[in-house]
Structure 1
Amino acid sequence: MSSWVAGFRSAVISPYEQIKLNESRSFADQTVRQVLRMAGGGTQVRVRLTNRYGVAPLVVGAARLALRKNADEIVAESDAPLLFEGRDRLVIPAGAEAVSDPIDLAVTAGTDLLLSLYLPESTGLATFSHEPAEIAYVTNGNETAAASLTLSEEVPARFFVTGIDVRAESSVTVAFGDSWFEGVGTTLGANHRSVDYFNERLTDGWAVNQGIAGNRLLSTEIGESGLARFDRDVRAVPGATRVLVNFGINDLILGAMAGQPPATAAELIAGFTELAERAHAAGLVIHAATIGPYAGCVYPGMPIEETLPTRRAVNEWLRGTDVFDGVFDVAAAVADPERPDFIRPEFDSGDGMHLNDAGAHAMAATMPVD
């Protein structure tokens, strides 16, 4: 019997954080049309909107959903209004979320949908996904029903949306982690993230992407910590039966942007152990990735040399521990054999700490399908 399960997810952050990789923005009397690639399909869909980190109510004057034809152009015959408890206008209080009424729209894995939101009043800085490897189209006025937008601006972020549920019979894997899941370094708009390639390998169910670039397992910013957001972004995902975890690089080096010390091996091991225990308590199977190489990081001010021994120690523990149901060795798969703290040149996006399309493909090959 079919039920509501997650067919698409997009993890969001606050626009008011100290550590930033990308800036949010506000909207007023504008339409935002966003590309949402479905990981799995079903006979009906419902959309999840958010004002989780807003400081004022969010007014949505109109919302529509359609199949994507090309760029910002919709398949006109598929276009349908989104209603919320029967109403086409929605006010989401600060800190709250909303789920649309179901609409009959058959979608399959790999379907691109276009979500159009008209935001008539000033929104303040938007709750957003800051590095989704996809674009949003922004134009003035209410063009939610337009076949294609007039003079649209392209913005590499997502705003006010956390997911789409589908009516289906399926199990869902949650890819939970950082930029190596979200897709930084891969081709914009090409759906070449590691999670996308992983979905091509799955024959039973699908995986939704809850990666946040810069996210840390132990510390807030960028985004709430992995431990803090686990209940919402994994446990509460409808249909979730498994979770794949990729954390560690940011715990070791990102805090330097705010004058914070790196995590220790003992702290990371304790955090990973807690995550495994909480997943098992929720009845979820959990697999963890080894921490990838980053010695070639080109960004100044990062504590690279001093944290590499911690990375090696945690990876040694990961490879030998039984607290997880399995460990997938991403580090070994993408490391330069001659310099194992560095990414292989053919997999390096160019910044020494992110994977390009080929690297994301190699990472996906390590991720367990059952």
Structure 2
Amino acid sequence: MNWRRLLAIVVKEMRQMRRDRITLAMIIGIPVMQLVLFGYAINLNLRGLDAAIVDEANTSGSRAVVMDMLATGVIRPVAEARTPQELVDMLRRGEISVGVAIPPDFERRRIDGREAVQVMVDGSDTVVQSAAIQLARMPIDGGASTRPGTNADIAAPISVVAFYNPERRSAVNIVPGLIGVILTMTMVLFTGVAIVRERERGNMELLIATPISRAELMIGKVLPYAAIGLVQTTVVLLLGLWLFQVPVLGSVLHVYLAAVLLILANLTLGLLISTKAQSQFQAMQMTFFVFLPSILLSGFMFPFAGMPRVVQWIAELLPLTHFLRLIRGIMLRGASLWELWPDVLALVAFTAVMMTLAINRFRKSLD
């Protein structure tokens, strides 16, 4: 062992690392990102679930029950509904996570000790379902009874009805999300090294000399991987149905259309990374830097509703966030792709922006 030669190698690696700005950023960026995400953004104690309330009784007691529920902080009204059926439709479209229905005969039901309030919850997310169940366990009495001759409070029995996953099976929620996770990891990585690999193999000069345009080159790089993504989607769907009996309540065609939207979004993001990276190793590093927040902030591992508002705004920039809403809405709630149009538009816009940036970035790298 020659210590001088060993020291020379150590110094050489440190100098090379110092010149590699992406690696240097990852050394500091990854621990900072994990600390912020796990310490600040991830919250399993859900509060402020999106809700809508239908009070058909409209009595002082029913209004007091609503105020008691809102005071718990578990739900917050974000939409208006007039009938319980509208609540069910909102749940299917993913506009709310919890619906509260108070029947017209609320007072009689409360006096008789029967179910007086019904809480409808989107059970496709088991964590949200568990949080909503807290409402039925909290001491909500609807205020003191104002009926003559009654001195004690009369509790308002609350029932919780879980739609779409009454058995509370975790696989029902996880398997559809795994389609997005797998497509995000593989599609970004595949195209993340596409341009870099051509450059390292010496094929870039040949491609530049051909009459092919920048847009043709980029789109040509994307299309083969899009077919691979559809194959991966099919494998996960079949295994999920066979091993875990995960239902597909909506249209299978809409499932594949949603998958195509995510595939294109991830492929264009990978192309942008590929035009920035100087080596395949850098491309993999940058892919990991994108993949980590996608997994943690999209709602796959941790509930989206539990994150601070600022973090939710950041998560809205991630394709996986919108895909999870699409795939769970279609597969688990039976919604159509057109009912979930805001997330469709978000993925289309993301794809257009990433492809434009990748094409412009590729042109600049050739100058």
Q: Would you tell me which structure has more strand in proportion to its own residues?
A: 1
Structure (1 or 2) with the larger CA radius of gyration: 2
The TM-score range, normalised by the shorter chain, is under 0.3
| TM-score (normalised: structure 1) | 0.24
Q: Would you tell me which structure has more helix in proportion to its own residues?
A: 2
| TM-score (normalised: structure 2) | 0.24
